[in-house]
Structure 1
Amino acid sequence: MSLKLFWFLPTHGDSRYLGSTEGARPVDLAYLQQIAGAADALGYEGVLIPTGRSCEDPWVVASSLIGATRRLKFLVAVRPGLHQPSLAARMAATFDRLSGGRLLINLVTGGDRAELEADGVFLPHAERYAQSAEFIRVWREIVARSHGGEAFDFDGRHVQVKGARLVFPPLQRPHPPVWFGGSSEAAHELAAAQVERYLTWGEPPAEVGRKLADVRARAERLGRQVEFGIRLHVIVRETEDEAWRAADALISRVDDATIAKAQEALARMDSEGQRRMAALHGRGTSRSREALEISPNLWAGVGLVRSGAGTALVGNPQQVAARIREYADLGIDAFIFSGYPHLEEAYRFAELVFPLLPRDLQARLSGEGARTGGPLGEVVANVDAPSRLRAQG
């Protein structure tokens, strides 16, 4: 299996230490361009841009980075209840054309009820998924029919359109691929029926395997096939000891009171996925490796203070690659990684782990240098390139 490796744009902030202003850095356009440019040059398939009130707007951010990248794809959110499907279809078609077909759609139902109510969405959990199912059905039809100039009518419980159509279709046919994540039964049913790729957060492989098997079986009953992806943090170093020291350092500046406050806020969410993330560390404040290593090289420390994806792969390059292959054996071929700080860790992960994995790769740092004639490694003693010395040896 050839793997698609994605990185993450930290539009909600970046730091060397979670839960602390120490080592924090402002996220501005220049910094986001640095991260996106690095991901593009290193050969990542694309970047995930998060969504929510704690983040900069993902569509504005993605649009600002089209000209700063060449091949990088952008996984950008549509939000039922916040967006209308016709407007979201025009946004997607425009972005897809202007980027040269580099758009991926992330369907986000949302699991923070307080945030949703602040944005004007007051539906309970089950109804939000019903709304999402109607929304993405209408979105898909509008975009797909745009290639033939057709209009679309729909009269649902949550979504109604009459004569909806796009004048200018996207480049991708029938529409940019739709990705979606959720752990409830309603989420699995939606994924099986309507999306191209189902995303899971980084639970232990056995738990992930059960989720994927359920989505796969539901899709097969509908005569469909769904691809799979996973969202994880990563802490990789040249040795295992260095990696675990880095994991300890990442949460070394956060105190028990901050963790308790964060867990209290996360517990108020009605997201099944968030509940499963919290259960991995028992909603406690322990920061020991014994309490937080929930599966070999899978660490739940990030979830002590962060919502959403709360686990990281921790280890040396061989260990991290082995864990990635373990998930790949379950049928996952798309991996969305992140690390703190995101610029440096994008390089570290690419340099240490990329060579150990099978990938569809348009360009890699070394490949770029080889094609352009640029240096690969510092010239030794101002005389020879490292590659020439190795060849002579």
Structure 2
Amino acid sequence: MSVEFIGYVSAREQTEILDLPGPAIDPAYIAATALVHEQGGFDRVLVAAHSTSPDSTLIAQYAASVTSTLGLLIAHRPGFTAPTLAARQLATLDHLSRGRVAVHIITGGNDRELEADGDHLSKVERYQRTSEYLKILRREWAGGTPFDHDGEFYRLRGASSVVLPFQPNGIPVYFGGASEEAIRVAGELADGYALWGEPLANAAELVGKVQAAAQHHHRSLRFSVSFRPIIADTEEEAWERAASIQQQIEKRQAAVLPAQNGIALDHAGPSPTEQTLPTNEGSRRLQAIAAKSARHDDRLWTGVTKATGGRWNSTSLVGTADQVAESLLQYYRLGIETFLIRGFDPLTDAVRYGRDLIPRVRALVEQEDTLRRKSG
């Protein structure tokens, strides 16, 4: 199996511990981050989406314009753009970037945030809409004669497109969400399933559920897991940095008033004790894991998860580059081939990942695959 690394590009420098003053969009920062990831050996970068953030597709287009090989994983929320138009937009960028586009479908787990964009559907209805949306997306990417569609959320007459995906195998569709509704849609329609970093036993359980859902449709998926690696020259220094990061987050949260309407700001929101915790299944899983212990397995750490209430990708692998690489290999053995890694100090951490972590993981995976071939 081939291993894949996905990094993270945002419109400006901002994390749980960094919220620098300046414009909402910093082209120089976007370019610098994209180039650091390309030069560091990352395969793709995720461009996230939020009801208050700059448009993910346009940020991805700018990142594509300053790079030549870096893939783009564009977070996209179904329901806010007509699926036929979204299919053409993504296919257009796929051609402009010469086949570097993938899309990460996010149905959405925060009702109040979605309401900010006028979406008042229930969770069940949102996943029903997502299923219909993806079927239309794939149908338009398939080309051929114009088609009609009569569904619960969309009615189309004579839909077609002159622009199709650049690559013959199309645009990869990644999918997130740990609820039963999400798993059903992923199993039927996604190419890749993304989960937040959980202990090995929990991750294996979730991978098994998604695999079973995919097998029901005679399909197989690629799996991705997300972590916030904290790496230092020694294990002691890495754990010291982890503790410092948690302290910085808690200090920042103590100084931030609760967000209006209970909506957390991206990576800089109020403390989970100051507002209702997120209720999406992925966050609930992280909350339960963090409640049991701050440390799991060899070096999985949930300090940031506890501080943020599990609102997003927040679990870390802590240690030296060799130790973290060994931990990632254990997830690879579960059938997870893609690692989405991003740091708390974005540029500095991305450089270190590219220099110290990614080469080690690729070497370990190559050794693992060689042993499998010899033994099998």
Give TM-score, length-normalised by structure 1. 0.83
Please say if residues 228 and 341 of structure 2, whose CA atoms lie closer than 8 Å, have aligned partners that are also in contact: yes
Aligned partner of 1:251 among 246, 252, 257:
246
Give the 5 Å matches for 1:187-198: 187-198=182-193
Q: CA RMSD in A?
A: 2.4
Aligned partner of 1:334 among 329, 334, 338:
338
> Aligned-pair distance for 1:164?
1.1
Please say if residues 4 and 359 of structure 1, whose CA atoms lie closer than 8 Å, have aligned partners that are also in contact: no
Please say if residues 51 and 114 of structure 2, whose CA atoms lie closer than 8 Å, have aligned partners that are also in contact: no
Aligned partner of 1:44 among 37, 42, 48:
42
Are positions 1:151 and 2:151 aligned together?
Answer: no
Aligned partner of 1:269 among 254, 278, 290:
278
Matched letter for residue 327 of structure 1: Y
Whole-angstrom CA distance in 2 between matches of 1:13 and 1:265:
25
Please say if residues 129 and 153 of structure 2, whose CA atoms lie closer than 8 Å, have aligned partners that are also in contact: yes
Query: Is there any run of 5+ residues in structure 2 with no aligned partner, and where?
Result: 259-269, 365-376
Instruction: Give CA-to-partner distance per residue, 1:252-279, whole Å, 9 cap, x none.
Output: 2223746994315774533111121222
Secondary structure of the residue aligned to 1:358 is: helix
Query: Is there any run of 5+ residues in structure 1 with no aligned partner, and where?
Result: 283-289, 361-393
Secondary structure of the residue aligned to 1:10 is: coil
Whole-angstrom CA distance in 1 between matches of 2:184 and 2:361:
32
Q: Residue in 1 aligned with 2:14?
A: 14
> Aligned-pair distance for 1:168?
1.9
Secondary structure of the residue aligned to 1:199 is: strand
Are positions 1:209 and 2:211 aligned together?
Answer: no
Are positions 1:278 and 2:287 aligned together?
Answer: yes
Please say if residues 109 and 129 of structure 1, whose CA atoms lie closer than 8 Å, have aligned partners that are also in contact: yes
Secondary structure of the residue aligned to 2:10 is: coil
Change in Cα spacing, 1:95 to 1:355, as seen in structure 2 (3 Å) is same
Secondary structure of the residue aligned to 1:63 is: helix
State percent identity of aligned pairs: 32
Q: Residue in 2 aligned with 1:141?
A: 139
> Aligned-pair distance for 1:170?
2.0
Matched letter for residue 284 of structure 2: R
Whole-angstrom CA distance in 1 between matches of 2:51 and 2:285:
22
Indicate the structure (1 or 2) with the bigger Cα radius of gyration: 1
Instruction: Give CA-to-partner distance per residue, 1:148-207, whole Å, 9 cap, x none.
Output: 3x2221111122222111112221234201000110111111111001001100011110
Instruction: Give CA-to-partner distance per residue, 1:206-240, whole Å, 9 cap, x none.
Output: 10101111111121121111111111111111210
> Aligned-pair distance for 1:359?
6.8
Please say if residues 76 and 105 of structure 1, whose CA atoms lie closer than 8 Å, have aligned partners that are also in contact: yes
Please say if residues 125 and 270 of structure 1, whose CA atoms lie closer than 8 Å, have aligned partners that are also in contact: no
Give TM-score, length-normalised by structure 2. 0.86
Matched letter for residue 8 of structure 2: F
Q: Residue in 2 aligned with 1:368?
A: none
Whole-angstrom CA distance in 2 between matches of 1:204 and 1:310:
13
Whole-angstrom CA distance in 2 between matches of 1:266 and 1:98:
43
Give the 5 Å matches for 1:57-136: 57-136=55-134
How many matched pairs?
348
When structure 1 is superposed on structure 2, of 290-299 and 227-236 the one drifting more is 290-299
Whole-angstrom CA distance in 2 between matches of 1:262 and 1:143:
43
Whole-angstrom CA distance in 1 between matches of 2:277 and 2:63:
35
Matched letter for residue 279 of structure 2: D
Whole-angstrom CA distance in 2 between matches of 1:174 and 1:152:
21
Whole-angstrom CA distance in 2 between matches of 1:143 and 1:101:
13
Are positions 1:357 and 2:361 aligned together?
Answer: yes
Give the 5 Å matches for 1:216-255: 216-253=211-248, 254-255=250-251
Matched letter for residue 347 of structure 1: V
Change in Cα spacing, 1:33 to 1:12, as seen in structure 2 (3 Å) is closer
> Aligned-pair distance for 1:294?
3.1
Secondary structure of the residue aligned to 2:317 is: strand
